[in-house]
Amino acid sequence: MLQIMIVGLLLSIDSSVSVNPPAPYGPIPSPRQMRWHQLEFYGFLHFGINTFTDKEWGYGDDDPGLFNPTAFDANQIAQVARQAGMRGLILTAKHHDGFCLWPSRYTEYSVKNSPWRGGKGDVVRELADACHRHGLLFGVYLSPWDRNHPEYGRPEYISYYRNQLVELLTGYGEIFIVWFDGANGGDGFYGGARQTRRIDRLTYYDWPNTWKIVRDLMPMAVMFSDVGPDVRWVGNEAGMAGEPCWSTLTAQGAPGSTTADLNHGDRHGTQWLPPECDVSIRPGWFYHPSQDGQVKTPRQLFEIYLSSVGRGACLNLNVPPDRTGRIHPNDQRSLLEFRKILDQTFKRNIAAEARLYASQIRGGQRLFGPENLFDSDISTYWCTDDNVTSAQIILDFDQPVTFDILEIREYVLLGQRIDAFAADAWIAEDWKTLATGTSIGNRRLLRFAPTTTKRFRLRIISAAACPVVTELGLYASPYVDDR
């Protein structure tokens, strides 16, 4: 009896060991990165003196009196962003020209010397408040390069830059991202000197100490730059993450000077440093009336979504307010139609309607079973035993179903584990491969020709550690019928 009890005890200890969750593999996201991943889609607002001078890069000598939106409406901007499904907005509080959209204590080159709101206005305040009212997060872009400031290139400017950062991080409520641009062109007004000033990108800004200000004042904010420290640039301004696109990288260099492969990441990188895809809805970053007819179409935006969010990145879509200080009707129209495409595509997960078969389930436990793949809950997952690094899921449907998009999400809190996968449909008595890939990460979307079948198979071909998959989806985009 005693022996049986002891055996029973040992057995139960054994099985509890086998159902532990897998250990993490490689670098994993911090809580602030994890929150950022879930945002997926947010907006960029390039707005400032350039809006009124028709320029992309002001030299730093434009008269502040030129800044005069005729009907600035932060509510309209936030409302459009919200309706488009954005989760936040990032404002160019100061672009390279140095003109500040808030009445900074440290310069006269700001809204306080413009006619707008009689010099009493604060664009940062109005937008931050509107975002918070409309349930959007608010972030800031503060250009390190400043073509107006007399001390640019000297140590004094670094104190000025940091003082401004503190103003933005202490005066406007929660900031979810601080966007550090790597561009440093050289020539500028510089208080009248009109010179070319070159700086050493690696040392001039003393980035570690600048980043520390953000960490201290806004611990949950992520910082974006070519090299993070939280979110990396994707290496282009077209909204295209690489294929593959790993969320890991070993950051080298500084914003504006890195040799790392930002577009693809590095499978063996030592940091979790996922990419953000920044792209404008128009050819330029700032508003130009001549580009009113060149707003990206809803379909183009959908393609961008697939190659950014669909490759484990976040999409930062620039929608530049026009000279009235509102989102132009053409941009608004395109955004709302784009939203409709997304809603229509993702409203029904066809995969959730199937009978399921998994080649292996960790410890044979329901806790780790494939049902977790369809619960829209990214805290539950399907995973296998530690020694099982290839596996498959088969979906059987009662009736033929038609789809053109596959979604796979890894449970990235345990790292990016999968190295290769393939998806097949059972067609004419045989498996036909629809898509293959390597990196998955937070969210992978793959589009293929519309496929009608009663049987679908996902093969995890290889993984560095047992695969941990949180969601699996099959969807029909509205374009399923027009090809």
| Nearest distance, CB of residue 215 and ligand FUL, angstroms | 23
**Dihedral of the CA atoms 30, 33, 35, 36 (nearest 10)?**
180
Structural element, H or E, at residue 332: helix 329-346
Please give the residue ranges that form the binding site for ligand FUL (CB under 6 A).
56, 181, 183, 278, 285
| Closest distance to ligand FUL from the beta carbon of 56 (Å) | 6
- Give the DSSP per-residue string, 439-467: --TT-EEEEEEEEEEEEEEEEEEEESS--
Minimum CB distance to ligand FUL, residue 288 (Å): 13
Q: Contact at 8 Å (CB) between 76 and 31? A: no
Find out whether 333 and 78 touch, Cβ atoms under 8 Å: no
Burial letters for 372-386: b for 16+ Cβ neighbours within 10 Å, e otherwise? bbbeeebebbbbbbe
Q: Indicate the residue among 56 and 337 with the shorter CB distance to ligand FUL.
A: 56
CA distance 24 to 6: 32
User: For residue 169, which phi and psi values (nearest 5 degrees)?
Assistant: -85, -10
Helices (H), 201-288: 207-217
Nearer to ligand FUL, 285 or 338 (CB): 285
Residue 72 or 285 with smaller CB distance to ligand FUL:
285
Contact between 469 and 409 under an 8 Å Cβ cutoff? The reply is: yes
Task: Note the residue count of the chain.
Answer: 483
Which residue, 319 or 463, is less far from ligand FUL as judged by CB? 319
User: Least separation, in Å, of the C-beta of 467 and ligand FUL?
Assistant: 36
Contact 111, 100 (CB under 8 A): yes
- HSE (CB half, 13 Å, CA atoms) of 262? 26
Considering the complex, what minimum distance in angstroms separates the CB of residue 163 from ligand FUL?
A: 22
Strands 382-383 and 468-475 turn out to be antiparallel
Long-range contacts at 168-173 (CB < 8 A, ≥ 24 apart): 168/93, 168/102, 168/124, 168/140, 168/142, 169/213, 169/214, 169/217, 169/218, 169/221, 170/217, 171/102, 171/124, 171/125, 172/124, 172/125, 172/128, 172/138, 172/140, 173/128, 173/129, 173/132, 173/138
Q: From the CB of 417, what's the least distance to ligand FUL, in Å?
A: 33
CA distance 435 to 402: 15
Please count the CA atoms within 13 angstroms of the CA of 335 that sit on its side-chain side: 26
In angstroms, give the least distance from the CB of 71 to ligand FUL.
24
Instruction: Report, in Å, the least distance between residue 407 CB and ligand FUL.
Output: 28
Give the shortest CB-301-to-ligand FUL separation in angstroms.
Answer: 17
How many other CB atoms sit within 10 Å of the CB of residue 155? 9
Q: How far is the CB of 145 from ligand FUL (least distance, A)?
A: 8
